[in-house]
């Protein structure tokens, strides 16, 4: 051992010396305040502001109004009882957006199959078509139970029934359905579809049809 090398001796901390956090508490509080202001205030306000400025209708729920009264949303399906209107696809939650969801029954569930078979026969009689011709979206509910759209085939199969109920030309009604058929989004996503509420509102806006004999 080299006697000229002296090992350093640990310095004992004085019991009376003040404890310092070296400014870490101040930095933590500063970051907390900045985070709350940015993420809890500025970011939500910016998102709401941009949504209202660029997509006001969508940001407010795509609400549809008539005579200053809200009658529905383009994003939420609703039932139509009268044969004068096109029918939406079934709903497992009675079209309640606050309870959106499916029936949770598997495709092999006997109760679901019996329900589909009964509905198939009902629609076959109503529309005067073969039971096998009823499209699946008129027999089954969507995953959310509030799908506002039906397929063009589901709309087409209802044309004769609605035309009879309204005493109007089938050709005119078919043209209206065509006008309200939306293509795939961006030409790639999803399938062609018809918004039932929009179609029925356009149907109601048509001039009154003259009754037979008038």
pLDDT (tens digit per residue) in 161-200? 999 999 999 999 999 999 999 988 888 888 999 999 999 9
Whether 23 maps to a domain, the answer reads no
Residue 157: per-residue pLDDT: 95
Contact, 194 vs 177, CB < 8 A? yes
Q: How many CB atoms within 10 Å of residue 180?
A: 20
Whether 73 maps to a domain, the answer reads yes
Number of domains in the chain: 1
For the residues 29-40, what does the mean pLDDT come to?
A: 90
Whether 117 maps to a domain, the answer reads yes
Q: How many CB atoms within 10 Å of residue 10?
A: 5
Q: Label residue 212 by pLDDT band (50, 70, 90).
A: very low
Q: Which domain holds residue 138?
A: 62-205
Residue 72: per-residue pLDDT: 80
CA nearest 63: which of 53, 72, 52? 72
Whether 3 maps to a domain, the answer reads no
Q: Label residue 21 by pLDDT band (50, 70, 90).
A: low
Distance CA 156, CA 160 (A): 8
Whether 176 maps to a domain, the answer reads yes
Whether 214 maps to a domain, the answer reads no
Alpha-carbon 69 to chain mean position: 21
Tell me: pLDDT of 203 over 70.
Answer: yes
Whether 96 maps to a domain, the answer reads yes
Contact, 129 vs 157, CB < 8 A? yes
Instruction: Give the position of tokens 């957006």.
Output: 97
For the residues 122-132, what does the mean pLDDT come to?
A: 92
Whether 41 maps to a domain, the answer reads no
Alpha-carbon 146 to chain mean position: 7
């Amino acid at each position: 051992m080299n006697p000229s090398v002296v090992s350093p001796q640990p310095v004992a901390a004085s019991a009376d010396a003040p404890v310092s956090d070296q400014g870490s508490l101040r930095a933590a509080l500063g970051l907390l305040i900045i985070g709350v202001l940015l993420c809890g205030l500025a970011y939500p306000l910016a998102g709401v502001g941009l949504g209202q400025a660029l997509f006001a209708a969508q940001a407010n729920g795509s609400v549809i109004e008539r005579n200053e009264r809200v009658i529905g949303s383009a994003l939420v399906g609703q039932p139509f009882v009268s044969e004068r209107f096109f029918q939406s696809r079934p709903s497992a939650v009675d079209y309640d957006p606050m309870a959106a969801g499916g029936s949770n029954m598997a495709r092999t569930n006997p109760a679901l199959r019996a329900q589909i078979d009964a509905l198939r026969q009902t629609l076959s009689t109503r529309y005067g078509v073969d039971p096998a011709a009823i499209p699946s979206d008129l027999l089954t509910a969507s995953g959310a139970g509030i799908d506002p759209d039906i397929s063009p085939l589901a709309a087409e199969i209802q044309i004769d029934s609605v035309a009879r109920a309204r005493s109007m030309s089938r050709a005119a009604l078919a043209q209206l359905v065509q006008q309200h058929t939306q293509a795939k989004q961006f030409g790639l996503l999803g399938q062609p579809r018809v918004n039932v509420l929009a179609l029925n509102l356009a149907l109601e806006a048509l001039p009154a049809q003259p009754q037979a004999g008038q």
